[in-house]
C-alpha cells in the first residue's frame, strides 16, 4: 500500500474513532452541559465519551410559548450540533398552555437526541408558573429569569443558568439541572431499548 493510501486509511480510522467517542450538545449553558455530563456516566456506552459543546441557533423564540415550539427548538439544536459525533443533543425549555389549569401555563424541558437519521424526544416534569411571573412574560415580553426577578420571587439575573425557578418553587427539591437530566434520560429510552421499537 502506498504512503498516500495508508494516510487515507489512518485518517478514516481517526474520523471513525472521533465519531464513536464524541457526543455533542447544542448549548454553552453550564447547567445543561453539567446535566449531560452526569447522565452519561450511568450508560456503559456513553460513560467514556468526550462531550463537545457548541453554540447553535435554536430557530425558535428566546422564550418558546408552546410545546411544538419547544420540541422544534430542541430538534434544531440537536441537528445543528451534528458534527463528527455519533449522538447530538438539543435541549429547550419553554411554556405550554394548559387550558384546564387555573394558572394556564406550565414550563417543561425537552431533550432531542439525534443520530444523523432519527430524533428521539424526552421530557422533564412540568410545573405551573405563578400568574404574577407569567404576567411579565405575556405582557412585557420578558424571559422567565427576568420575570422572576421583576415579580420579586428572585433577585438573581442568572437564575436560568443556576437552579432555575423550579429550584425556588420546590425549595431546591428539584433544580433546573435535575429536570434537565429527566429530559435527557427519557430521550435516551430508545437508545437502550432499540429492540422494543423494531
Query: What is the chain written as a DSSP string?
Result: --HHHHHHHHHHHHHHHHHHHEEEES---HHHHHHHHHHHTT-TTTTTPEEEE-----SS-SS--SHHHHHHHHHHHHHHT-SSSSEEEEEEEEEEE-TTSTT-EEEEEEEEEE-SS-EEEEE---EEPPHHHHHHHHHH---HHHHHHHTTS---TTGGGTTHHHHHHTTTSS-HHHHHHHHHHHHTHHHH-HHHH-
pLDDT for residue 18: 42
pLDDT for residue 29: 92
- Domain span at 164: 3-192
197 in any annotated domain:
no
198 in any annotated domain:
no
pLDDT for residue 68: 96
C-alpha cell at position 66: 408552546
Q: At what angle do helices 176-187 and 30-40 cross, to 10 degrees?
A: 50
149 in any annotated domain:
yes
pLDDT for residue 5: 41
How high is the mean pLDDT in each 10-residue block of the chain (198 residues)? 42 43 94 96 90 95 92 97 95 91 86 96 95 91 88 81 86 94 96 83
How far apart are alpha carbons 6 and 50 in whole angstroms? 27
pLDDT for residue 102: 72
User: What is the number of structural domains in the chain?
Assistant: 1
CATH number of the CATH domain containing 75: 3.90.950.10
24 in any annotated domain:
yes
pLDDT for residue 9: 30
C-alpha cell at position 164: 432555575
How far apart are alpha carbons 58 and 79 in whole angstroms? 10
How far apart are alpha carbons 96 and 143 in whole angstroms? 14
How far apart are alpha carbons 143 and 93 in whole angstroms? 11
The dihedral built from the CA positions of residue 4, 7, 13 and 19, taken in this order, carries a sign that is negative
pLDDT for residue 60: 93
pLDDT for residue 10: 41
Amino acid at each position: 500500500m502506498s504512503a498516500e493510501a495508508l494516510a487515507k486509511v489512518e485518517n478514516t480510522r481517526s474520523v471513525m474513532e472521533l465519531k464513536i467517542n464524541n457526543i455533542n450538545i447544542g448549548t454553552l449553558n453550564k447547567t445543561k452541559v453539567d446535566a449531560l455530563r452526569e447522565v452519561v456516566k450511568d450508560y456503559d456506552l456513553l460513560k467514556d465519551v468526550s462531550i463537545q459543546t457548541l453554540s447553535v441557533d435554536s430557530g425558535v423564540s428566546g422564550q418558546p410559548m408552546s410545546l411544538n415550539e419547544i420540541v422544534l427548538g430542541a430538534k434544531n439544536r440537536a441537528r445543528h450540533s451534528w458534527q463528527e459525533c455519533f449522538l447530538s443533543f438539543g435541549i429547550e425549555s419553554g411554556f405550554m398552555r394548559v387550558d384546564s389549569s387555573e394558572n394556564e401555563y406550565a414550563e417543561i424541558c425537552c431533550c432531542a437526541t439525534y443520530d444523523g437519521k432519527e430524533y428521539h424526544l424526552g421530557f422533564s416534569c412540568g410545573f405551573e408558573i405563578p400568574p404574577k411571573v407569567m404576567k411579565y412574560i405575556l405582557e412585557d415580553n420578558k424571559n422567565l429569569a427576568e420575570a422572576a426577578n421583576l415579580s420579586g420571587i428572585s433577585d438573581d439575573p442568572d437564575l436560568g443558568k443556576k437552579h432555575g425557578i423550579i429550584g425556588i418553587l420546590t425549595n431546591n427539591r428539584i433544580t433546573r439541572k435535575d429536570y434537565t437530566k429527566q429530559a435527557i434520560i427519557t430521550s435516551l429510552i430508545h437508545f437502550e431499548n432499540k429492540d422494543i421499537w423494531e
